Amino acid sequence: MPSAIEVQHLTKHFREVLAVNDLSFEVETGRVTGFLGPNGSGKTTTLRMLLGLVHITAGVATFGGRRYVEIEHPIRHVGAVLEATSFHPSRRAEDHLKMVAIGAGIPLSRVGETLELVGLSDVGRRRVGKFSLGMRQRLQLATALLGDPEILILDEPANGLDPQGIQWLRTFIRHQAAIGRSVLVSSHLLSEMEETVDDVVIVSQGQLVLQTTLADLSTRAGTSTGMRVRSPEIGRLTGVLATSNVAFRPIAPDTIAIDGASPEWLGPLLAQHQIVVYELVHEKGSLEDVFLTLTKGFDAAIPGAPSLGAPPGGSQAPPPGGTPPTPGPMPGGQS
Amino acid sequence: MIAVIRSEWLKLRTTAVPWVLASIALIINGLLILVIFLRHDPATGGDTVPHTTQQLKNLVGSGFQGYLFALLLGVLCITTEFRHKTATTAFLVTPVRPVFVGGKMILAAIAGAGLAVIMLIATLIGGGLTLVARGGSFSAMLHQLPAVAPGMILVFALFAILGVGVGSVLTNQVAAIIVVLGWFIILEGILVSLVNSAEKWVPTGAALAASNLTRGMGQGGQTYGLFNQWQGTLLMLGYGLLFAAIGSFILTRRDIT
């Protein structure tokens, strides 16, 4: 099956600043692709170049082989929700959609349909100036869906949505893929997207870090980092480890971490010495850790590159299995 | 293109801009009609009731200066897209920017002409009633309509086109309004009073020629020699298209972020 979106050697200079640097990736038909990177990594610029809003310095971006500007009535094929798009405050939501529908030759019956789809039917006659951020986001989504497009481009669509809204958005995105549509959705938080995407395109500093499947990324994340033990007899355990020349790190007075250890190795050892254990944890990296390591390592690889925003360290959710978040890089500590 | 223009019409009428502009234009028109009737006739010492051809023409065309509102209508209908950041949506729907500017121009021309028609109708009603009440002849006034209306409608349309052109270059709404009002209210008059031969070349001179009404920019409305109607129309249209071409060129290369 051909790619829905093809990006080849895309480059953008804003005067002296290189915002996007020789970026190439593909979005496969019928799949949800997460476009991930820290703030300021060139995601929005890339998406706007795809849509012909930002002038491309070099390279090409196509939808089924055609550039956006070459498509007749493009919003019937590519729907977009972009950040910082606004509405005229005194225009009614319904009129906004009508105006777009008429301009693209879309039947006006779609206006009511899309309003209902995003849950704005009751406020269609209201002026957009009175809308909350979440309602505007839904109206943007309605605008994107108006032409029943086969490709959707969503730039940080979860911004401004409440938890129910985000849950709704995830279901919505999965549904789009289920009916054969291709979705490219950007986010600076992998955790926000890991239940939603099939593939990931990770960028940092305007360059591609990695394009792979979420499954592959999970495999990388699932790599064991070691064991953590909490025991009232921690002194006996450390004694045993010291005699076997095994390195360990004290975490708390009754807790230690043994890097590189496996459950298969540690379990029999504890049984053999009859050590009472309160807590035994097999530590694995989370997806977010892999994401942070990938994007951070990439920053460091560029000599003199400025740090772009703090890594979202505070937002890590504990991964399933009860492991507390590993102490990741401190916010703002990456300079 | 038809779709673009229909969409633009919906865009325009769903904001307050055209209605506010038209209302202000009509209020000023009403005041001007009052002035015409309140002006004392130096010969008789009494109030003037328009009766000569020129006086009746002036009464029918009393809303003529409203072309400035057609100009503002043109400026606002394009700059509002940038002010409210609706340009993103507009360019997603119509990614070819010259088509976007062209659609705005055609719509603005129609809306500008519409404004002229509304003002003419209002003048016929308001001015006509006053005239009849003061013992004048409405049929004599109506008789001057064919001489005034086509030129006035044409000039309003041309100014609206020019407004879109200027707005496509100066997308900052405040800057665009200051520049057009500064030029048409102050600078152009100064230029013509200093260099009289410039009158036929400046937009207002070209528009006056296009209107085919014998008015000028000099003292007491005298003219320093204008082009003929066709030349004036083409020159005025040329200004609008020149700005639109520059604006389209800039917009095509502009990043909408």
B101 contacts B8 by C-beta, under 8 angstroms:
no
What tokens appear for A328 in the block?
């990741």
Whole-angstrom distance, CA of residue B120 vs CA of residue B110: 15
Who among B14, B89, B254 is closest to A100 (CB)? Answer: B89
B131 contacts B141 by C-beta, under 8 angstroms:
yes
Mark yes or no for CB contact A102/B91 under 8 Å. Answer: no
- ipTM confidence score: 0.87
- Cβ atoms within 10 Å, residue B140: 16
Report which of B208, B205, B172, B211 is spatially closest to residue B75, judged by C-alpha positions.
B172
Mark yes or no for CB contact B255/A55 under 8 Å. Answer: yes
Q: In sequence order, which residues have a C-beta less than 8 Å from that of residue A98 and are 6 or more positions away? A: A108, A111, B10
What tokens appear for A317 in the block?
């959710």
Q: Give the per-residue pLDDT at B247.
A: 95
Who among A69, A90, A100 is closest to B93 (CB)? Answer: A100
Which residues, numbered 124 to 143 in chain A, qualify as contacts with chain B under a Cβ-Cβ cut-off of 8 Å? 143
- Cβ atoms within 10 Å, residue B40: 10
Whole-angstrom distance, CA of residue A159 vs CA of residue A137: 8
pLDDT in tens, A132-190: 888 998 999 999 999 999 999 999 988 878 888 888 899 999 999 999 999 999 998 88
- Classify strands A58-63 and A199-204 as parallel, antiparallel or unpaired: unpaired
Shortest distance between the Cα of A301 and any Cα of chain B, in A, equals 29
Q: Give the per-residue pLDDT at A310.
A: 37
Q: Give the per-residue pLDDT at B55.
A: 84
- Cβ atoms within 10 Å, residue A267: 13
- Cβ atoms within 10 Å, residue B223: 16
Owner of token pair 């013509």: B192
pLDDT in tens, B123-170: 999 999 989 988 888 999 999 999 899 999 999 999 999 999 999 999
Q: Give the per-residue pLDDT at A298.
A: 57
What is the DSSP annotation of B28-43?
Answer: HHHHHHHHHHHSBPTT
Mark yes or no for CB contact B14/A99 under 8 Å. Answer: yes
Q: Which residues on chain A are in Cβ contact (under 8 Å) with B256?
A: 48, 53-54
Side chain identity at A223, as an amino acid letter?
T
More confident of the two residues B224 and A316: B224
Shortest distance between the Cα of B57 and any Cα of chain A, in A, equals 39
CA distances from A139 to A51, A82, A125 (A): 19, 12, 12
B36 contacts B62 by C-beta, under 8 angstroms:
yes
B64 has pLDDT over 50:
yes
Q: Give the per-residue pLDDT at A143.
A: 95
Confidence of residue B219 (pLDDT cuts 50, 70, 90): low
For residue B100, the chain A residue with the least C-alpha distance is A103
Mark yes or no for CB contact B7/A103 under 8 Å. Answer: yes
Axis-axis angle for helices B173-181, B145-169 (nearest 10)? 140
More confident of the two residues A122 and B220: A122
Mark yes or no for CB contact B257/A86 under 8 Å. Answer: no
Q: Give the per-residue pLDDT at B95.
A: 93
Whole-angstrom distance, CA of residue A247 vs CA of residue A240: 11
Shortest distance between the Cα of A77 and any Cα of chain B, in A, equals 11
Owner of token pair 């309004």: B177
A79 contacts A155 by C-beta, under 8 angstroms:
no
CA quadruple A120, A122, A126, A130: dihedral sign: negative
Q: Which residues on chain B are in Cβ contact (under 8 Å) with A52?
A: 91, 95
What is the DSSP annotation of chain B?
Answer: -HHHHHHHHHHHHTSSHHHHHHHHHHHHHHHHHHHHHHSBPTTTSSB----SHHHHHHHHTTTGGGHHHHHHHHHHHHHHHHHTTTHHHHHHHS-SHHHHHHHHHHHHHHHHHHHHHHHHHHHHHHHHHHHHHTT--HHHHHHTHHHHHHHHHHHHHHHHHHHHHHHHH---HHHHHHHHHIIIIIIHHHHHHH-GGGTTTSHHHHHHHHHT-S--SSGGG--S----HHHHHHHHHHHHHHHHHHHHHHHHH----
Q: Is A108 on the interface with B (CB under 8 A)?
A: no
Q: Give the per-residue pLDDT at B217.
A: 62
B58 has pLDDT over 60:
yes
Q: Which residues on chain B are in Cβ contact (under 8 Å) with A143?
A: 89
A7 contacts A61 by C-beta, under 8 angstroms:
yes
Q: Which residues on chain B are in Cβ contact (under 8 Å) with A82?
A: 88
Q: Which residues on chain B are in Cβ contact (under 8 Å) with A100?
A: 7, 89, 93
Beta-carbon contacts below 8 Å between A and B = 85
Q: Is A152 on the interface with B (CB under 8 A)?
A: no
Mark yes or no for CB contact A53/B4 under 8 Å. Answer: no
Degrees to nearest 5, angle at CA A159 with A111 and A217: 110
Whole-angstrom distance, CA of residue B6 vs CA of residue A105: 10
Task: Note the Cα A297 to chain centre separation in Å.
Answer: 18
Please, which residues bridge with residue A186 across strands? Answer: A35, A155
Q: Is A86 on the interface with B (CB under 8 A)?
A: yes
Shortest distance between the Cα of A44 and any Cα of chain B, in A, equals 9
Tell me the residues of B at the A interface, defined by beta carbons under 8 Å apart. 3-4, 6-7, 10-11, 14-16, 80, 84-86, 88-89, 91-96, 253-257
Shortest distance between the Cα of B99 and any Cα of chain A, in A, equals 12
Q: Is A218 on the interface with B (CB under 8 A)?
A: no
Shortest distance between the Cα of B18 and any Cα of chain A, in A, equals 13
Using only the alpha carbons of chain A, give its radius of gyration.
24
Q: Give the per-residue pLDDT at B218.
A: 62
Mark yes or no for CB contact A45/B95 under 8 Å. Answer: no
* Weakly modelled stretches of chain A, pLDDT under 70: 1, 84, 224, 297-335
More confident of the two residues B50 and A177: A177
pLDDT in tens, B75-133: 999 999 999 989 999 999 999 999 999 999 999 999 999 999 999 999 999 999 989 98
Mark yes or no for CB contact A95/B4 under 8 Å. Answer: no
